[in-house]
Structure 1
Amino acid sequence: MINTNEIIAAIDIGTTKIVAIAGKVTSNGELQILGLEKTKSTGVVKGVIQNINLTIEAIREVVEKLQKNTNLKIDKAYVGIAGQHIRSLKNRQFKYIQNGSEIITQEDIDTILKENFRIPIQVGEQILHVIPQDYVVDKDKGITNPLGMAGRRLDGNFNIIIGRTASARNIENCVKAVDVEIEELVLEPLASSLAVLTQEEKEAGVVLVDIGGGTTDITLYFDGVLRHTAVIPFGGDVVTKDIKEGCHLLLKQAEALKVQFGEAVEQLADSDKVVNIPQTGGWDPKEIAFKTVAQIIQCRMEEILDRVKYQIDMTPYGDKLGAGIVLTGGGAMLKNLDILTKETLGLDVRIGYPNASSMIKVDEAINLPMYATSIGLLLNGLNKIQHKPSDGVATQTNTKTRKRGLKQFFETLFDN
């Protein structure tokens, strides 16, 4: 067995697939991926666990395969959390500096951070993270780190991430059932950003659009800081259902048709090509034109992109996105989706592959957008090993039960 002190493992619990991945920290501090296993996810709907038993079985399957193929004992892992229940809101707190010297201390900064946990939220929700956006010292605005500055009043603007308590507990229970301890619960779109986005893109302004099976996650960065997050309740599975209904196919046939022959722009589809669907279970054979499939896909993807645009327009950063849009997730692999996105949003677009970090070498076989979250979870673990905890982020923790929840993940937003 390899020394597990040098091993980082992660589990990505998605709507269409569950992935287990492990990597080893090398002597030069880089991460070497040792193995990746995946299986179909049948107990998760729109990123939220709906069937505990089916999810436990799938997690156990991929963890056991990973252990067998890597000769590792996986007893702890970084685990992703996502779903439509995740939301964010903006808040402002202030404090008068009353320490005699009128010099802002770390205690002053921590005080206004922690005050955000007192704001009222809905029943069954919990504040997961408080992310500082910027500070105001007296009348000086746009300060990123006020520590040591002179002033009589400190104001802070914060982005508060909120999630449903039951969803986090269900993840913890499923992972615990396969004898794996959760090292940390990590918000999945932020894990993806570690694998896909460069620090330069985050500084210039960028929107990461992570198109998963059940949902599409949006994260917007500007000046190196996470400014906005949102979840759209549509992903790749709704496109498959549209093809199923529009072409009168079985669900598995519709998925195969989307993956193998689908594209996002009808005008670019070959008008002369058709795909033959053989007779199955009493169903007559069919011929389906490529253009027909593309038309169905384009209609749904335009709806998703319109919602992405709406989320961007909700922020003051729409005209400041120097790095444009980065598409990742399994849905980003759809042919010509980058072209449709550029036409719809009017911004530069690239496909995000999980090899943006210089701290990890990704083999070609897994350097795919569909594994962005999985690899990002490993990178989050690497950052936890290499970086000291940041005092700039407040997080709720439960020290009695050692359930770490979404634990100080956002230190990576400021340590990169």
Structure 2
Amino acid sequence: MGVKNNIIAAIDIGTTKIVAIMGEIDSDGRLRIIGMEKTVSRGVKRGVIHSIEDTIGAIREVVDRLQAKSNKNISKVYVGIAGQHIRSIKNRQFKYIQNGVGEISKLDVEEILNENFRIPIEVGEQILHVIPQDFVVDKEAGIRNPVGMAGRRLDGNFNIIIGRTASARNIEKCVKEVGLEIEELVLEPLASSLAVLSEEEKEAGVVLVDIGGGTTDITVYFDGILRHTAVIPFGGDIVTRDIKEGCSVLIKQAEALKIQFGEAVADLVDEEKVVTIPSVGGWDPKEISFKTLAQIIQCRMEEIIESVKFQIELTGLHDKIGAGIVLTGGGALLRNLDVLTQRKTGIDVRIGYPDSTSKIILDEALNQPIYATGIGLILNGLNKPIENEKDLGNDKDTGSKMNLFKRFFGAMFDTED
């Protein structure tokens, strides 16, 4: 498989669901989603695999169903990595230009990019992504694309995203056990951003808040560049547990209450409305007011939004978020969550759907925030060079790293050699 066959596949290993998704590149270079299968995730907690056996079983189930229904085989997949172990650091690299011409080449930029993969990090961690922020040529700062400029010294500022090696290895093990090869391990919020954010939004300044079952992922873009990423260890599941405890119901009933009747702003709810929970296993039937339900939800969602607000303030870009906050992931569907987020942050809010990009064609049933990560993962593979194409540089690993950079920052590397 691979781009050579026009088929791209991905697996989103989430806390509440595991999704396998397949896309086909049409003659116009657009990606048509041709299949999606999902199942309940039992081996993942807060975005991290806790049971290898359960996760392998779930992946095998969705992959087998996807292959059977699409009548196409999968051998390589893009897979997301997430969880609260993800962290990012800033780093600066420099080099003197000694190519005789006195001009900065694409190779010079590649060299200082790849130096970041050699920086010392903590034992048990690995570098997932190196994201260029800007460059300095001699003393001229704030340069987006230094290729072709005259200069004697090139400095680069980078955002380095780091994750736990054990988490990456566990993902790899589960996928390999199903007989698949990982094409690339991609940070999930980066994948979601490919599906739901436009280039104009990234340029103007935008915050993507991806509310999953176990975690809430935050990414902040400005001037078209990823400036900050963070993971909050709470998601939709904790809201369900709050409802279970606050209303004294079963976890399944709590989830149904949240999805069918839940709202994020208590003062917008009709005080007279109630829902009756039928008797189960000898328990008496009970009435729960919509207002009480909304108060429980609002309390927890305000806590998550406060954490989002704190992360935005950390970047120093609060006043530059021109395109506002985009909510995606399953938690984004909570009624009036956009209203609550706007009230608490003072920033415009919209819900992010995967069809925000013109590069993709998908059925209405798949155009849901819950599928943003899975669809983003295969979009990540859309610009990957055809297999066997000559890699950049001689080192295959270096080539694959550069392919990654080209996908996220294509404009930076579009200059001819």
Q: TM-score range by the shorter chain?
A: over 0.9
Cα gap change, 1:185/1:120 in structure 2, threshold over 3 Å: closer, same or farther? same
What is aligned with 1:300? 300
Aligned residues: CA RMSD:
2.3
- Tell me if the contact between 2:352 and 2:369 (Cα under 8 Å) persists in the aligned partners: yes
What is aligned with 2:410? 415
How much does 1:73 deviate?
A: 1.4
- Tell me if the contact between 1:128 and 1:162 (Cα under 8 Å) persists in the aligned partners: yes
- Cα distance in 2, alignment partners of residues 386 and 263 from structure 1: 47
How much does 1:35 deviate?
A: 1.2
Write out aligned runs for 1:37-186 (5 A).
37-186=37-186
How much does 1:117 deviate?
A: 2.5
What is aligned with 1:266? 266
What is aligned with 2:337? 337
How much does 1:398 deviate?
A: 9.2
How much does 1:219 deviate?
A: 0.6
Cα gap change, 1:135/1:391 in structure 2, threshold over 3 Å: closer, same or farther? farther
What is aligned with 1:196? 196
* Worse-superposed segment, 274-283 or 50-59: 274-283
What is aligned with 1:26? 26
Give the structure-2-normalised TM-score.
Answer: 0.93
How much does 1:186 deviate?
A: 1.3
Query: Unpaired segments of 5 or more residues in structure 2?
Result: 412-417
Query: Unpaired segments of 5 or more residues in structure 1?
Result: none
- Cα distance in 2, alignment partners of residues 216 and 8 from structure 1: 26
- Tell me if the contact between 2:4 and 2:386 (Cα under 8 Å) persists in the aligned partners: no
How much does 1:103 deviate?
A: 2.1
How much does 1:377 deviate?
A: 1.1
What is aligned with 2:415? none
What is aligned with 1:277? 277
Q: What's the CA shift string for 1:138-184, capped at 9, x where partnerless?
A: 22111011112122222111000101111111111101111111121
- Cα distance in 2, alignment partners of residues 129 and 10 from structure 1: 18
- The size of the alignment, in residue pairs, is 408
- Tell me if the contact between 1:128 and 1:396 (Cα under 8 Å) persists in the aligned partners: no
* Worse-superposed segment, 272-281 or 100-109: 100-109
How much does 1:106 deviate?
A: 2.9
How much does 1:88 deviate?
A: 0.6
- Tell me if the contact between 2:128 and 2:186 (Cα under 8 Å) persists in the aligned partners: no
- Tell me if the contact between 2:128 and 2:187 (Cα under 8 Å) persists in the aligned partners: no
Alignment-mate amino acid for residue 413 of structure 1 = F
- Cα distance in 2, alignment partners of residues 389 and 197 from structure 1: 31
Q: What's the CA shift string for 1:363-387, capped at 9, x where partnerless?
A: 1111110000111112112122589
How much does 1:9 deviate?
A: 1.1
* Worse-superposed segment, 237-246 or 26-35: 26-35
Alignment-mate amino acid for residue 205 of structure 1 = G
- Tell me if the contact between 1:264 and 1:335 (Cα under 8 Å) persists in the aligned partners: yes
What is aligned with 1:227? 227
Identity of aligned residues (%): 70
What is aligned with 2:205? 205
- Cα distance in 2, alignment partners of residues 343 and 210 from structure 1: 18
Q: Structure 1 runs of 4+ off > 6 angstroms?
A: 386-392
| Secondary structure in 2 matching 1:270 | coil
What is aligned with 2:414? none
Q: What's the CA shift string for 1:22-72, capped at 9, x where partnerless?
A: 111112222121111110001000000000000011011111111121112
What is aligned with 2:236? 236
- Tell me if the contact between 1:262 and 1:334 (Cα under 8 Å) persists in the aligned partners: yes
